[in-house]
Amino acid sequence: MDISTMFSTMSVGMLRSFGIFVLTLVGSLPLGMVVALLKKSRFVVVRAITSAYITVIRGTPLMLQLLVWYFGPFYLFGMNIGNWRFPALILGFVLNYAAYFAEIYRGGIESIPVGQYEACEVLGYTKTQTFMRVILPQVIKRIMPSVTNEVITLVKDTSLAFTLAYQEVFSLAKQISASQTSFMPFVIAGIFYFVANYIVEFVMKRIEKSMGYYK
């Protein structure tokens, strides 16, 4: 099998990896904000549950979480998990990254001086208006470097989909390498991850630069 054929075969896996990446971001970025706000709730029970969720997710490997989400429904409820592989995969990734994004958001929110809240209150802003118009834009700017790091990590973590026998680019690279006794599939996979991360870093830096207050 020549290089072009390998690349063509692995392109399907690349698209699947990209799909995991996009769906995880679409789900985890907003969910992370919800979790961050719940952790700052005035209700003790809500804060306790949210803190426990974040602690468990951040304290256990993503690979283990994927296995739990996939096999859990079968062992606990006897459910048929024949078509559950991809939903379990996305669920595991979204819940995992939402916990990390939540802590990033929380750190950003708590970095805003209390005086800004008080000033908004004097101006007659509601809590929602204060958060959406004053606090959130500043938070987004401050957390961009941390978010960029997590997004870059996500690109590489898509390779963990092999845990559930989902054929993304890394799984296909292993299969082709074993069948062809060639190291080239791993080189192609490495190039894919490098290019994907380069694009992510470029885009995130452009976004961060566009949010600069001073030119």
Question: Is 128 domain-assigned?
Answer: yes
pLDDT score, position 88: 93
Average pLDDT over residues 85-112: 94
Question: Is 80 domain-assigned?
Answer: yes
**pLDDT tier at 45, thresholds 50, 70, 90:** very high
Question: Is 134 domain-assigned?
Answer: yes
Question: Is 182 domain-assigned?
Answer: yes
**pLDDT tier at 203, thresholds 50, 70, 90:** very high
**Beta carbons of 196 and 157 less than 8 angstroms apart:** no
Please indicate whether residue 208 or residue 66 has the higher confidence score (pLDDT): 66
pLDDT score, position 213: 56
Q: Which domain holds residue 24?
A: 3-210
Please indicate whether residue 193 or residue 214 has the higher confidence score (pLDDT): 193
Model pTM?
0.90
pLDDT (tens digit, 9 = 90+) per residue, 50-65? 999 999 999 999 999 9
Spatial distance between the Cα atoms of 71 and 164, rounded to a whole number of angstroms:
10
Question: Is 30 domain-assigned?
Answer: yes
Spatial distance between the Cα atoms of 19 and 204, rounded to a whole number of angstroms:
19
- C-beta atoms surrounding 25 within 10 Å: 19
Average pLDDT over residues 120-141: 88
pLDDT (tens digit, 9 = 90+) per residue, 147-183? 999 999 999 999 999 888 888 888 888 888 888 888 8
pLDDT score, position 100: 96
Q: Name the domain count of the chain.
A: 1
Spatial distance between the Cα atoms of 131 and 112, rounded to a whole number of angstroms:
11
Residue 20's nearest CA partner among 129, 157, 185 is: 157
Helix (H, G, I), strand (E, B) or coil at 52: helix
**pLDDT tier at 104, thresholds 50, 70, 90:** very high
Question: Is 88 domain-assigned?
Answer: yes
pLDDT score, position 134: 87
CATH number for the domain spanning 53: value is 1.10.3720.10
Residue 173's nearest CA partner among 184, 157, 161 is: 184
Spatial distance between the Cα atoms of 171 and 177, rounded to a whole number of angstroms:
10
pLDDT score, position 147: 93
Question: Is 124 domain-assigned?
Answer: yes
Question: Is 215 domain-assigned?
Answer: no
Return phi, psi of residue 167, to 5°. -85, 80
**pLDDT tier at 198, thresholds 50, 70, 90:** very high
